[in-house]
Amino acid sequence: MLESMFRRRILNNSFNRKSRIVLAFDEYGDKNAVLNRLCWVCEYLGEHLACVKIGYPTILSTGLSELKSIIDEFSSENVFMADVKIADVSHTNSLIAKLLYEAGFDAVIAHGFIGYEGGLEGVFKEAKGLNRGVVVVASMSHAGSVEFLDPNMERIVQTALKHHADGVVAPATRAHIVKRVREIAGDSLLIFTPGVGAQGAEYGSGLSAGADFEIIGRSIMYSPNPIETVLEVKKKHDGVLADRAC
């Protein structure tokens, strides 16, 4: 299986920018205000980020066509991931993924609990045809994840491995899950950890558990000085990675 363009791009960005930060951009409301905020992020924070993850609130506020113009403007230097947690039947999933990839997204996030046959199958089909990325949710950062997702986490990770996903989502708020995902996946999957900052996990906690990237949103976006906060996070990450290398 050839490495996807998404995996190459995010790893190159991470190396060149010395960053393990995936910024969660979920701004909503007035379309122009949201688009202007996204432009600001790409222009002033982009050089410190591995990837910009754009969520449903933003997509619903701006529409894909308007969002595409921003992605096109900044796509040469920034990697964009669509966080819509695709979770439908294969035909619908295929259409959703196709629309997002055509809007310029390098990767999409899909739920693993729907299974592959007749479910994730549609997402992977579109990704393969366009050489884009798929990141599968194996576990989530909220408490309710322990009810249904976590008991099936290992099977979801195995599915992601079998079908050559680029990565999985596992929560920084439960380090033991991240560690177990790494044991199962080895280096074959990138691990993205949400829950850092506003949800309670400390900066660096996901990396300490073996993740490749930390997904951070509100604590950066709502900071009085987002650039200063990003640099603070990077400094913390540098220390964690130095300890990991020992």
Residues involved in catalysis = 85
* Spatial separation of the C-alpha atoms in residues 48 and 42, rounded to whole Å: 10
17 Cβ contact list (under 8 Å, min separation 6): 47, 48, 49, 50
Which element (helix H / strand E) includes 9?
Answer: helix 5-17
Other Cβ atoms within 10 Å of 131 Cβ, number: 14
Three-class SS state of 51: strand
Q: Are 199 and 173 in contact (CB under 8 A)?
A: yes
* Residues paired with 136 in a beta bridge: 110, 168
CA distances to 63, 139, 150, 198, 210 from 142, in Å: 28, 9, 11, 12, 19
